[in-house]
Structure 1
Amino acid sequence: MPTLRNIKVWNTDEVIDLAIPGPDGEPDGDAGIDATGLTVAPGFADPHVHFRDPGQTYKESMASGCAAAASGGYTNVLIMPNTVPAMDGEPVEAGKPGADEVLGAGYGTVIDYLQHYGEAHGVDLPVRYDLCVCASKGRAGHEATELDRWWRYMPGVDDDSKDAAQLAHPVTAISDDGSAVTPETLDAVFALAKASGLPLIEHCEHHDTGAVNEGPVSRKLGVPGIPEDTELKIVARDIAKARETGVYVHFQHVSTAISFDAIRKAKAEGLPITCETAPHYLALSDEALLEYGTLAKMNPPLRSEADRLATIEAIADGTVDMIATDHAPHTLEEKALGFLEAPNGIVGLECAYGVCHKVLVDGGHISDARLIELMSVAPERLMGHEATDVAALVEAFSEPAPNEGSNRLLDLAKVDDPESVDLVVLGTDQAWTVDPERFRSKARNTPFGGWKVTGRPLATVIGSRLAFSRLG
Structure 2
Amino acid sequence: MLTLRNITVWDTGETIDLVIPETDEGRFFRDEDAVFDGEVDATGLTLAPGFADPHVHFRDPGQTYKESMVSGAAAAASGGYTNVLIMPNTVPALDGVKVTDREQSGAEEVLGKGFDSVIDFLQHYDSAHDVNLPVRYDLCVCASKGRAGHEATDLADWHWYIRGVAEGEKDRSQLDHPITAISDDGSAVTPEILDDVLRMVRESGLYLIEHCEHHDTGAVNDGPVSRKLGVPGIPEDTELKIVARDIEKARETGVHIHFQHVSTAISFDAIRKAKAEGLPITCETAPHYLALSDEALLEYGTLAKMNPPLRSEADRQATIEAIADGTVDLLATDHAPHTLEEKERGFLEAPNGIIGLECAYGVCHKVLVDGGHISDKRLIELMATEPQRLMGHDPADIDAMLDTAGAGEGRRMLDLSAVEHPETADLVVLDTNAAWKVDPERFHSQARNTPFGGWDVTGRPLATIIGSRLVFSRL
TM range (shorter): over 0.9
Among candidates 46, 55, 77, match of residue 39 of structure 1 = 46
- Describe the superposition over 1:266-288 as per-residue Cα deviations: whole angstroms up to 9, x where unpaired: 00000000000000000000000
Q: Which runs of 5+ in 1 are unaligned?
A: none
> Where in structure 2 are the equivalents of 1:58-457 lying within 5 Å?
58-93=65-100, 94-394=102-402, 397-401=403-407, 403=408, 405=409, 407-457=411-461
Contact 1:400 1:407 in 2 (8 A): no
Moved >4 Å (runs of 4+): none
Q: Where does residue 29 of structure 2 map in the other structure?
A: none
Q: Distance in 1 between matches of 2:386 and 2:346?
A: 36
> Deviation per CA, 1:414-471, whole angstroms, max 9, x where unpaired?
0011012100000000000000000000000000000000000000000000010001
> Is the contact between residue 42 and residue 389 of structure 1 (CA under 8 Å) also seen in structure 2?
yes
**How far apart are 1:163 and its partner, in Å?**
0.2
Q: Which amino acid aligns with 1:105?
A: K
Query: Which residue of the partner structure matches residue 55 of structure 1?
Result: 62
Residues 10 and 391 in structure 1, CA contact (< 8 A), matched pair in contact too = no
Residues 106-156 of structure 1: CA distance to partner in whole angstroms, max 9, x if unpaired? 001000000000111000001000000000000000000000000000000
Counterpart secondary structure, 1:348: coil
1:468 aligns with 2:472: yes
Check 1:306–1:121 CA distance in 2 against 1; reply closer, same or farther (3 A cut).
Answer: same
Equivalent in the alignment of 2:30: none
Deviations 1:72-98 (A, max 9, x none): 000000000000000000001232111
Question: Contact between 2:24 and 2:471, CA under 8 Å: does it hold in 1?
Answer: no
RMSD (Å) for aligned C-alpha atoms: 1.2
Structure 2 distance, partners of 1:98, 1:63, is 16
Whether the 8 Å CA contact 2:66–2:337 is kept in 1: the answer is yes
Q: Is the CA contact 2:36–2:473 (under 8 Å) kept in the aligned structure 1?
A: no
The 2-side partners of 1:303 and 1:256 are apart by 7
Cα-to-partner distance string for 1:394-413 (whole Å, 9 max, x where unaligned): 2xx34233x5x252211000
Give how far 1:350 is off: 0.1
- Residue 22 of structure 1: SS of its match in structure 2? coil
Alpha-carbon shift at residue 30 of structure 1 (Å): 8.1
CA contact (8 A) 1:388 1:420 kept: yes
Specify the code of the residue in structure 1 equivalent to 2:433: D
CA contact (8 A) 1:398 1:411 kept: no
Match of 1:17 in 2: 17
Distance in 1, Cα, partners of 2:473 & 2:134:
12
Report what 2:32 is aligned to. Answer: none
How big is each residue's C-alpha offset from its partner over 1:288-324, in whole Å with a ceiling of 9 and x where there is no partner?
Answer: 0000000000000000000000000000000000000
Mean Cα deviation higher: 384-393 or 434-443: 384-393
Separation (CA, whole Å) in 1 of partners of 2:246 and 2:150: 18
Measure, in 1, the Cα distance between the counterparts of 2:259 and 2:319.
14
CA distance in 2, matches of 1:88, 1:8: 43
**Superposition deviation, residue 32 in structure 1:** 1.6
SS of the aligned residue for 1:358 comes to helix
1:406–1:24: structure 2 CA closer, same or farther, 3 Å change rule? farther
Counterpart code for 2:467: G
Instruction: String of CA shifts for 1:327-383, please: whole Å, max 9, x gaps.
Output: 000000000000000000000000000000000000000000000110011111111
Deviation per residue, 1:152-189 (Å, 9 max, x gap): 00000000000000000000000000000001111101
Q: Secondary structure at the match of 1:8?
A: strand
> Which amino acid letter does the alignment assign opposite residue 19 of structure 2?
A
Compared CA separation, residues 269 and 418, structure 1 to 2 (3 A):
same
Shift of 1:24: 7.8
CA–CA distance in structure 1, aligned partners of residues 305 and 473 of structure 2 = 32
SS in 2 for 1:458: strand
Q: Helix, strand or coil: the match of 2:191?
A: coil
TM-score (norm: length of structure 2): 0.97
Q: Which AA in structure 2 matches 1:42? A: P
Structure-1 separation of matches of 2:313 and 2:18: 43
Match of 1:219, as an amino acid?
A: R
Whether the 8 Å CA contact 2:294–2:312 is kept in 1: the answer is: yes
Deviation at 1:13, TM superposition (A): 2.1
CA distance in 1, matches of 2:389, 2:141: 18
**With structure 1 as the length reference, what TM-score do the two structures score?**
0.97
Residue identity opposite 1:97 in structure 2: S
Q: CA deviation at 1:391?
A: 1.8
| 1:39-69 Cα deviation digits (max 9, x unpaired) | 0000000000000000000000000000000
Contact 2:85 2:137 in 1 (8 A): yes
- State how many pairs are aligned: 465
| Contact 1:282 1:311 (C-alpha < 8 Å) held by counterparts | yes
> Secondary structure at 2:82's aligned position in 1?
strand
- Secondary structure (helix, strand or coil) at the match of 1:186 reads helix
**1:2-55 deviations in whole A, cap 9, x for unaligned?**
200000001112000000010489xx9983200000000000000000000000
Q: Equivalents in 2 of 1:281, 1:114: separation in Å?
A: 30
